[in-house]
């Protein structure tokens, strides 16, 4: 049985399902975050949100959502859902019959005689989102259509239709690449099977984020849809979609998906749940270990790092190494470390916990003794 499971009655009730969110991170600063139905209700939501070094390292929403459509006998069944002024359209949530989350996110849809399954996986330590589609049941020839909604903006902002966006795409094996604005990375979208990309660029305007409206913030956004992928899908066949910052090898997408899934432990015990939750806050990026204060809108904060690091390292693989590297980054960057009266004191406490793990007082004093003496001196001197 899955760690989390929701049934059709719960999922089709938007009052229920839109108030429950899913979060998955790549352990490198990126995340996917949306609601159970895939309807984004916050400006921070998106299928692929990653830090962009060329823009200061803050998180940016690249791929906001991906709408799936199944076509039989020239009739289209759209599985997506978006909020527009006064209406949800399309209303693909009505087809969802099951949601599960354990090693990854799995949604199952029933459309007439079709049973369609979607599995979502954010690859660890890499900017790559994989979505595996399986047509479990079908009695007629079926076509799968995938329509990406692109944002290319900071998580704290909203984007609107403009003439600046670069609507031209590069071509890669079984896919395309888009970079809407300068200084952004190119987003490569590919399938593991032969497909047709139908270029049909358009802005989908006035998408609403109801949680932002509730909070009193601006809540309307226009998202750019460059076109759609289309390919046949047979009963029993699985097709993998990849969104990444580097071109993927389409022939290996199935293998990469399986390998990534097999590496992940099941949430079948309290310890595993705690360990997996803790690991999402430890960021391994650009050769540094950092702690993120929270998802989706918080960044790095030295005070929060000092408080949380001992507990996070306790449940991390290679905990002492993680603790040591994160501590080194914390002291070196000192991101707001001395902006509050108690943050340096928390650092002392953190060093005490670290000493309890390594037991080497001489090494600790050699690395951090001068800093600690300076802090004590500043406390004694006080401020004006």
Tens-digit pLDDT profile for residues 230-272? 999 999 999 999 999 999 999 999 999 999 999 998 888 888 8
Tens-digit pLDDT profile for residues 324-348? 999 999 888 876 667 788 888 999 9
Give pLDDT, residue 334: 72
Give pLDDT, residue 202: 98
Give pLDDT, residue 315: 76
Statement to judge: residues 257 and 295 lie in one domain: no
Statement to judge: residues 239 and 297 lie in one domain: no
Statement to judge: residues 187 and 243 lie in one domain: yes
Structural domains of the chain, count: 2
Statement to judge: residues 337 and 368 lie in one domain: yes
Residue-range definition of the domain harbouring residue 204? 4-263
Q: Among 248, 263, 278, which residue terminates a domain? A: 263
Statement to judge: residues 23 and 166 lie in one domain: yes
Statement to judge: residues 138 and 277 lie in one domain: no
Statement to judge: residues 41 and 180 lie in one domain: yes
Rounded Cα distance between 225 and 223, Å, is 7
User: Of all residues in the chain, what percent carry a pLDDT higher than 90?
Assistant: 79
Statement to judge: residues 200 and 308 lie in one domain: no
Where does the pLDDT of residue 3 fall: very low under 50, low under 70, confident under 90, or very high at 90 and above?
A: confident
Tens-digit pLDDT profile for residues 279-307? 999 999 888 999 999 999 988 888 899 99
Statement to judge: residues 91 and 215 lie in one domain: yes
Statement to judge: residues 115 and 178 lie in one domain: yes
Give pLDDT, residue 154: 98
Q: Among 203, 232, 263, which residue terminates a domain? A: 263
Task: Write the secondary structure of the chain as one string of H (helix), E (strand) and C (coil).
Answer: CCCEEEEHHHHHCHHHHCCCEEEEECCCCCEEEEECCCCCCCCCCEEEEEECHHHCCCEEEEEEEEEEEEEECCEEEECCEEEECCEEEEEHHHHEEEEEECCCEEEEEEECCEEEEEEEEECCCCCEEEEEEEEEECCCCEEEEEEEEEEEEECCCCCCCCCCCCCCCEEECCEEEECCCCCCCCEEEEECCCCEEEEEEEEEEEEECHHHHHCCCCCEEEEEEEEEEEEEECCCCEEEEEEECCCCCHHHHHHHHHHHHHHCCCCCCHHHHHHHHHHCCEEEECCEEEECCCCCCCCCCHHHHHHHHHHHHHCCCCHHHHHHHHHHHHHHHCCCCCCCCCHHHHHHHHHHHHHHHHCCHHHHHHHHHHHHHHHHHHHHHCCC
């Amino acid at each position: 049985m899955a760690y989390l499971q929701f049934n059709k009655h719960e999922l089709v009730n938007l009052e229920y399902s839109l108030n429950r969110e899913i979060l998955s991170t790549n352990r490198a600063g990126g995340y996917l975050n949306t609601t159970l139905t895939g309807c984004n209700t916050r400006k921070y939501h998106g299928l692929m949100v990653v830090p962009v070094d060329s823009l200061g390292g803050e998180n940016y929403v690249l791929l906001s959502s991906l709408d799936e459509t199944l076509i039989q006998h020239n009739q289209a069944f759209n599985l997506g859902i978006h909020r527009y002024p006064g209406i949800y359209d399309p209303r693909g949530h009505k087809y969802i019959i099951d949601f599960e989350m354990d090693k990854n996110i799995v949604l199952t849809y029933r459309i007439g005689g079709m049973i369609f399954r979607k599995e979502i996986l954010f690859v660890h330590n890499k900017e790559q989102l994989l979505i595996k589609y399986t047509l479990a049941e079908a009695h007629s020839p079926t076509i799968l259509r995938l329509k990406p909604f692109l944002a290319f903006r900071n998580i704290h902002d909203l984007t609107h239709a403009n003439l600046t966006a670069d609507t031209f795409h590069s071509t890669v094996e079984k896919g395309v690449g888009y970079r809407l604005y300068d200084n952004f990375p190119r987003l490569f979208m590919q399938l593991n099977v032969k497909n047709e990309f139908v270029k049909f660029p358009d802005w989908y305007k006035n998408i609403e984020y109801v949680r932002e409206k509730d909070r009193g913030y601006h809540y309307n956004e226009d998202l750019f849809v460059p076109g759609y992928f289309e390919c046949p899908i047979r009963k029993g066949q699985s097709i993998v979609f990849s969104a990444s910052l580097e071109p993927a090898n389409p022939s290996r997408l199935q293998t990469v998906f399986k390998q990534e899934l097999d590496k992940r432990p099941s949430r079948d015990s309290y310890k595993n749940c705690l360990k997996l939750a803790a690991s999402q806050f430890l960021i391994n990026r650009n050769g540094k270990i950092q702690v993120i204060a929270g998802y989706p809108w918080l960044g790095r904060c030295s005070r929060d790092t000092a408080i949380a690091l001992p507990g996070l390292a306790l449940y991390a693989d290679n905990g002492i190494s993680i603790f040591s590297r994160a501590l080194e980054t914390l002291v070196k960057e000192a991101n707001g470390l001395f902006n509050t009266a108690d943050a340096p004191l928390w650092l002392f406490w953190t060093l005490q916990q670290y000493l309890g793990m390594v037991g080497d007082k001489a090494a600790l004093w050699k690395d951090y003794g001068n800093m600690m003496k300076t802090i004590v001196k500043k406390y004694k001197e006080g401020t004006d």
